[in-house]
Amino acid sequence: MDLVNHLEGRLLFAVPKKGRLLQAALNLLEGADIQFRRENRLDIALVKNLPIALIFLPAADIPTFVGEGRVSLGITGRDTVAEHEAGVIALRKEQAESGKSTPQEDEGGCVEVMDLGFGSCKLQVQVPEKGQYGKPSDLIGKNIGTSFVHLAEEYFAALEAEAEAEAANGTKSKKLKTKIIELSGSVEAACALGVADGIVDLVESGETMKAAGLKPIDTVVSSTAVLIKSKNPTNVDTVELVAARIRGVITAQKHVLCQYNVERTKLAAATKITPGKRAPTVNALEGDGAWVAVSSMVEKKKIATVMDELTEVGAQDILVLEIANTR
Ligand SMILES: Nc1ncnc2c1ncn2[C@@H]1O[C@H](COP(=O)(O)OP(=O)(O)OP(=O)(O)O)[C@@H](O)[C@H]1O
Ligand SMILES: O=P(O)(O)OC[C@H]1O[C@H](OP(=O)(O)OP(=O)(O)O)[C@H](O)[C@@H]1O
């Protein structure tokens, strides 16, 4: 089937085609009951139960497609959105300076719909552990290796402006003194191989940088995966439906359902610990007027403490249940 000719009327939704965000993004689509079958080697998949076509793209390219309005919705890292936006700002500035065209502030761009809670990492400035550079300003005028050229340029332009203002010499140079060298991967190798004095790269556990003999000296962007939409999306109702479904899955992932029995006299103390989303559900226990059963949504990360506190106030038969979905 020629899928490209079946896109008419469908919401185009970009999903990372590989890499660290792929599996979590697919899990989210499954949780939101977005059903599709991706043919081998095809980067387009028609959704069976909704008017959506999934477009599988490199995470770093998704903000370009969404920002230009070619695709209405996307899942990618906030770092890639920031890089795209820094690129757009740099281009507008360049065009304005050369008088080529008028900068259009309101045109295009990505709107963050929600944080998806996975893929957390930091874009950091890293230097050799045993080297001569201790703070970011030491790197002014040096060589910086990165895949995030626009964010690195923006970062060092701000550092240079700050340094010039401090020196109060009034010579605000237009040209960046620091040399930004674009690398597409294995950026951590650049210092040891003499290509760069410092790097701007992603860090999660810190293991890669430690193994490469590097240490962080600043954070440029803190990132997680995000759902983004274009400024003027097509199929607005479907965009809202998908966002609501994904929000439900994420809320469910972050919470558990806590059920317990407690004496009515201790109910106020217990429900103070588990106030729930709106309010806890309280039911009488069959044949025992003195006891009630309580059920309440609790944040997953707090559940151990909540169970300790409930036990302390006299709650019994505490059960913790996974929530598959919620609205
Ligand atoms: N070490 C990491 N830990 C957590 N998230 C990361 C990490 N590295 C990257 N990410 C996130 O995942 C996104 C995609 O990066 P990833 O390297 O997986 O993509 P990719 O498409 O395979 O790119 P490449 O081929 O350049 O490695 C990044 O933009 C960032 O938001
Ligand atoms: O802090 P850590 O948990 O060690 O993760 C950081 C590493 O992960 C990313 O690289 P990736 O594995 O995507 O490979 P790449 O260098 O080819 O981009 C990033 O560029 C770092 O190299």
Task: With a cut of 80, say whether residue 5 has pLDDT above it.
Answer: no
Same-domain check for residues 230 and 102: yes
The structural domain count of the chain equals: 3
Q: Kindly report, residue by residue over 72-99, the tens digit of the pLDDT.
A: 999 999 999 999 999 998 888 888 888 7
Most informative mutation of 184, 201, 207, 220 for ligand 2 (most atoms within 8 A of CB): 201
Q: Is the pLDDT of residue 18 over 80?
A: yes
Contact 243, 114 (CB under 8 A): yes
**pLDDT of 284 above 80:** yes
Ligand nearest to the CA of 120: 1
Does 171 fall in a domain? yes
Residue 107, pLDDT score? 67
Say whether both 184 and 318 belong to one domain: no
**DSSP H or E run through 253:** helix 236-254
Predicted local confidence at residue 164, as pLDDT? 83
**Are 52 and 189 within one domain?**
no
Would you list the DSSP string of 51-68? Answer: SEEEEEE-GGGHHHHHHT
pTM above 0.90, yes or no: no
The token pair that represents 50 in the structure block: 């909704």
What pLDDT band is residue 175 in, cutting at 50, 70 and 90? confident
* Residue owning the nearest CA to atom 31 of ligand 1: 77
Q: Are strands 143-146 and 179-182 parallel, antiparallel or unpaired?
A: parallel
In a domain, 250, yes or no: no
Does residue 240 sit within a domain?
no
73 within domain boundaries: yes
pLDDT tens across 205-231, in order? Answer: 999 999 999 999 999 999 999 999 999
Q: CB within 8 A of 1, min separation 6: which ones?
A: none
219 with 229, same domain: the answer is no
CA distance 27 to 25: 5
Looking at 223, 247, 265, which one is the last position of a domain? 223
- Selected residue with higher pLDDT from 104 and 119: 119
Tokens for 268?
Answer: 């106020």
Same domain, 76 and 107: yes
Ligand 2 center to 146 CA (angstroms): 12
Same-domain pairing of 46 and 115: yes
Band (40; pLDDT cuts 50, 70, 90): confident
Answer whether residue 19 shows pLDDT above 60.
Answer: yes
Atom of ligand 2 nearest to the CA of 187: 16
Q: Are 114 and 10 part of one and the same domain?
A: yes
Q: Is the per-residue pLDDT at 169 higher than 70?
A: no
* Residue that terminates a domain, selected from 201, 234, 267: 234
Mean pLDDT score, 284-299: 91
Nearest to 25 by CA among 57, 69, 3, 48: 57
284: CATH = 3.30.70.120
pLDDT average, residue stretch 131-156: 96
Q: Tell the burial category of 241 from Cβ atoms under 10 Å away from its Cβ (0-12, 13-18, 19+).
A: middle
The answer to the question of residue 313 being in a domain is yes
Going by pLDDT thresholds of 50, 70 and 90, the confidence category of residue 154 is very high
Tell whether 45 and 141 lie within a shared domain. Answer: no
Q: Domain check: are 302 and 164 in the same one?
A: no
Domain span at 196: 121-223
Is the per-residue pLDDT at 317 higher than 60?
Answer: yes
| 37 and 106 housed in the same domain | yes
Model confidence band, residue 170 (pLDDT cutoffs 50, 70, 90): low
Whether 201 is in the pocket of ligand 2, judged by its Cβ within 6 Å, is yes
In the reported structure, the alpha carbon of residue 188 is separated from the centroid of ligand 2 by a whole-number distance in angstroms of 8
Distant-in-sequence, close-in-space partners of 107: CB < 8 Å, separation ≥ 6: none
Mean pLDDT for 180-198 is 96
Q: Which two tokens stand for residue 44?
A: 């387009």
List 182's β-bridge partners, or say none. 146
Q: Are strands 198-203 and 143-146 parallel, antiparallel or unpaired?
A: parallel
Task: Count Cβ atoms within 10 A of the Cβ of residue 37 and give its class: 0-12 exposed, 13-18 middle, 19 or more buried.
Answer: exposed
Q: What is the H or E stretch that residue 210 is in?
A: helix 207-211
Q: Provide Rg for the chain, Cα atoms.
A: 26
pLDDT band at 103 (very low <50, low <70, confident <90, very high): low
Q: Is residue 174 part of a domain?
A: yes
Same domain? 188 vs 288: no
Q: Check whether residue 50 and residue 139 sit in a common domain.
A: no
Q: What is the pLDDT of residue 70?
A: 93
Residue 244 resides in a domain = no
Specify the amino acid at residue 313: V
Residues 6+ apart with CB under 8 A from 76: 14, 16, 21, 59, 60, 62, 63, 225, 226, 228
Closest CA to 208 of 57, 21, 20: 20
In-domain check, residue 219:
yes
Q: Which of 18, 64, 76, 121 to mutate to test the pocket of ligand 1 (most atoms within 8 A of CB)?
A: 121
Q: Which residues pair with 114 in a beta bridge?
A: 227
CATH of the domain at 230: 3.40.190.10
Band (pLDDT 50/70/90 cuts) for residue 172 is: low
